[in-house]
Amino acid sequence: MKVGIIGSGGREHALCQSIKNSNKIDKIYCFPGNAGTSNIAENIKINPEDFENIKNFIIENEIDLIIVGPEKPLVDGIVDYLEKFKIKVFGPNKLASQLEGSKIFTKKICEKFNIPTAKFGIFKNKNDAKKFLDQNNFPTVIKADNLASGKGVYICNTRSEAEIAIDEIFNGKFGKADELLIEEFLNGEEMSYFTVHDGKCFKSFNTAQDHKRVLEGDKGKNTGGMGAYSPSRLINDELEKKIINKIIKPTLQGLSEFGTNYKGFLYTGLMIVDNEPYLIEYNVRMGDPECQTILPRLRTDISDIFLACCEEKLNDVNIKWSSQKSLCIVVCSNGYPDKYKKYIEIKNLDTINLKENDYIFHAGTERKDDKLYSVGGRVLNFISISDSFAKAKENIIKNLNTLNWSEGFYRRDIGYKVIK
Ligand code: AMP
Ligand code: GLY
């Protein structure tokens, strides 16, 4: 069987490696992939936004199954487009992808089905939004409605910070904005709950907690994610039941009232307050770096899961997990998430002696003339699974010390809540 993966990050390299481990797969293509995927797959230089050329390549090369990694092509409707040509695709359609594409779409479903989430108001202009601040408590959360790649969310401690956020969003900092959200600030601990769906049924795809801020102590700017660990320290059977019954099932009911269902990974971003889950956001894909963190614990052939989802047979698949702990530390280029240099050589990667439960997944890397270069803000992911988070981290730090890449940095405190 031939499989195609759309995307070029650490998540896609981890997906590519898991698919490679399946004995059913003869060939993998990545659109466009990175230096890591080029070692195990064929990278195809077609932009994930160029649906037509991707479709032509899939048909010409008789690719059997397509996995879509990132949200942008999903929200833009790549699944609907490829399915028109009878191509098998794992991922949600354009309408279901509104769960990530529009925070207001999701909030409306929450309102209708009483899904626990922060109290919120939707505002169409600066004046109404600012007037609402008169009766508001601080901190408060202000969000742009459109896809803003993790940006577009402001936690405001004062009224003047809130006014700046409102002005920036309506002035188009994150693209054209017709509406914005003002939300109650939820004080708890975040966790991510993943599920995999075939349109008819869904199964848990494990849990993780990530570190979104760039500096140690969870301080500084928001990033795509500086590291993660799996499983979450917060998960228990009672909490899992609440997440499924109070949040995920009613959301699927909401989608069915819009005349659609859900196929693909669903990432439920939660705030846990006294063992009660509150929905913060949905993402219609795996998390990055959560995917790199979770997949090494998977003990079921991932291609069986993808195929079952495309054939509405997920019910027949038993998804098994290792009980070991997984930790991931992301190596970034100096300057990230602001300006950083590109095309800096990474010299020592091949000298790292990876042990059986250690993994390195590439993100922003490119190979040129046999040399490895960084081309993105998040560059490499170092993962290890072990009997304890502390041991996993020790293994990672050993590998990071061998890398010794002076042009990059990483957070040394990933997992501090689970490592004493
Ligand atoms: P989002 O893009 O909606 O996930 O928001 C980005 C980050 O902002 C989240 O991961 C949280 O850390 C934080 N956040 C968003 N909404 C809230 C809220 N209502 N209360 C507290 N923190 C929030
Ligand atoms: N790590 C957060 C995300 O993938 O959105």
Quick: pLDDT tens for 218-267: 999 889 999 999 999 999 999 999 999 999 999 999 999 999 999 999 99
User: How many Å lie between the centroid of ligand 1 and the Cα of residue 223?
Assistant: 12
User: How many Å lie between the centroid of ligand 2 and the Cα of residue 287?
Assistant: 4
Best of 75, 145, 151, 153 to mutate for ligand 1, by most ligand atoms within 8 A of CB?
153
Q: Are 5 and 33 in contact (CB under 8 A)?
A: yes
User: How many Å lie between the centroid of ligand 1 and the Cα of residue 31?
Assistant: 31
Nearest atom of ligand 2 to the alpha carbon of 285? 4
168, burial (CB in 10 Å: exposed 0-12, middle 13-18, buried 19+):
middle
Q: Closest Cα to atom 5, ligand 2: which residue?
A: 287
Whole-Å CA distances, 132 to 93, 128, 145, 243: 35, 6, 18, 31
Map out the domains of the chain as residue ranges.
Answer: 2-92, 119-184, 189-316, 325-409
Amino acid type, 46: I
**Regions of the chain short of the pLDDT cut 70:** 148-150
- The CATH architecture one would assign to domain 119-184 is 2-Layer Sandwich (3.30)
Tell me if the domain spanning 189-316 has CATH number 3.40.50.1360: no
Per-residue DSSP letter, 175: B
pLDDT at residue 136, as a whole number: 85
**Over the stretch 317-346, which tens digit does the pLDDT of each residue have?**
999 999 999 999 999 999 999 999 999 999
Longest alpha-carbon distance in the chain: 62
Q: Which CATH superfamily groups domain 325-409?
A: Phosphoribosylglycinamide synthetase, C-terminal domain (3.90.600.10)
User: How many Å lie between the centroid of ligand 1 and the Cα of residue 91?
Assistant: 24
Nearest ligand to the C-alpha atom of residue 222: 1
CATH fold of the domain at 2-92: Rossmann fold (3.40.50)
Nearest ligand to the C-alpha atom of residue 294: 2
pLDDT at residue 149, as a whole number: 64
- Return d(Cα 412, Cα 214) in angstroms, integer: 11
Per-residue DSSP letter, 340: -
pLDDT at residue 156, as a whole number: 95
pLDDT at residue 385, as a whole number: 98
Pairing state between β 365-368 and 227-230: unpaired
pLDDT at residue 150, as a whole number: 62
pLDDT at residue 147, as a whole number: 75
Nearest ligand to the C-alpha atom of residue 223: 2
